[in-house]
Structure 1
Amino acid sequence: MHLSDTHLDQAGAPDADGADGTAALRLLLNELAYLDGLDAVIVTGDVADDGSREAYTRADELWSGYAGRRGAEVFYTTGNHDERTAFGEVLGSGPTARGCVCGSGG
């Protein structure tokens, strides 16, 4: 499964314009509860809208719970809204990150 641009934020609630990335992601995962047999969940770009550690933590909790019930791994990549330091601290970064698919060099 691939999803992009979840745009979660620190508050995890509707913003001034009424957008609520957390509620939208929860709704989406609920709607996709019927999917089984996944090998991987790939979340690309703009995981967080505000680059907060809270948003990355919430994203990881939601995605890991969904993927874990299906025996799938979760892989993340950054986008232009993501804050690289917070992203790396919460979700990992580079070839030693959990969930990284890396060659053995041989």
Structure 2
Amino acid sequence: MARFLQLTDLHVVGKGMLCSNVLDTRSILRDAVNRLLELRPALDPLDAVLITGDVSDDGSRDSYAFARTHLERLGLPLFLVPGNHDARDPMRAAFAGQEWMPKNGLIDWQAQIGDTQLVGLDSLVEGQGGGQLRGDSLAVLSDVLADNDDGPLIIMLHHPPIQTGICFMDAIGLENADALGAVLEGSNRDVTVIAGHVHGVHHGKIGGHVVATAPAICSGFALDRRDNATVGFLKGPTGCAVIDTGPGGIWSAVSLDPFDGPFSF
């Protein structure tokens, strides 16, 4: 068994900037890490932090340097995949030195934490909001599944391979989710697919396996299934997730919004 903290959609901007002219995502990340350090006694033991994309909002080197500085305050190994707002080369440079980080090409990788295997898949198509898994990425996953390891497997990518009902986000989702489903179909591995992008908690299945998206660090999207739903974000709810890969396979959302309590019943 292993226990992971899943963070997603930090959308950090360069110094002096605001994300979407509204959010001070540098301060939001700093405060989120402060809150997580307060929560550590309740969440530990944690083995690593899994970050499912959109570390940066503008792809700037300054945003990645700021993000790494604060993420490292958690004192845990970091594993990342890029999101649609990220830029591969600045991300690669900022997180150079990580054993799992490829020196070039797509940011696909695999790692082992205890009995749990991690696979990161790069769904970024630079210059567009939607995502795609290339043949090389799907081949990485196929090779992992072919190993017949019987331990838990977590697959990380930014764009969720499920439809959430939020039309404006589903329109820029994973273009070839069916290809991922075909690779996963028939596998007897204990597989969990985790993603970000949709700034909220959504559970589904692909190829017979669980998919879970985590709340975002910086903002939220309303669950509004109407075709004419307003396109935009909310300042909350914000949060993250904790994943246990034991026999129960527990995935738990953690709120990072201010609250009072606990109060006695």
Q: TM-score, normalised by structure 1?
A: 0.78
> Is residue 60 of structure 1 aligned with residue 64 of structure 2?
no
Corresponding position of 1:7: 11
Match for residue 55 of structure 2 among 40, 47, 51 = 47
Q: Deviations over 1:32-76 (max 9, x none)?
A: 22213210011111100000111111111101111x1xxx21111
Q: TM-score, normalised by structure 2?
A: 0.34
Corresponding position of 2:165: none
Corresponding position of 2:85: 81
Shift of the 58–21 alpha-carbon distance from structure 1 to 2, 3 Å rule, reads: same
> 5+ residue gaps in structure 2?
118-143, 148-265
Corresponding position of 1:20: 24
Q: CA RMSD in A?
A: 2.9
SS of structure 2 residue aligned to 1:30: helix
Task: Please tell me whether the aligned partners of residues 12 and 21 of structure 1 are also in contact (alpha carbons under 8 angstroms).
Answer: no
Larger helix proportion, structure 1 or 2?
1
Deviation at 1:13, TM superposition (A): 5.0
AA of the residue aligned to 2:62: E
> Is residue 29 of structure 1 aligned with residue 39 of structure 2?
no
Task: Please tell me whether the aligned partners of residues 12 and 67 of structure 2 are also in contact (alpha carbons under 8 angstroms).
Answer: yes
Q: Distance in 2 between matches of 1:62 and 1:31?
A: 12
Task: Please tell me whether the aligned partners of residues 12 and 55 of structure 1 are also in contact (alpha carbons under 8 angstroms).
Answer: no
Larger strand proportion, structure 1 or 2?
2
Range that drifts further, 74-83 or 9-18:
9-18
Structure possessing the higher radius of gyration over alpha carbons = 2
Report which structure shows greater RCO (CA 8 Å, sep ≥6).
1
AA of the residue aligned to 2:58: D
Q: Distance in 2 between matches of 1:12 and 1:43?
A: 24
Deviation at 1:24, TM superposition (A): 0.8
Among the aligned pairs, what percent are the same residue?
Answer: 32
Match for residue 95 of structure 2 among 82, 85, 91 = 91
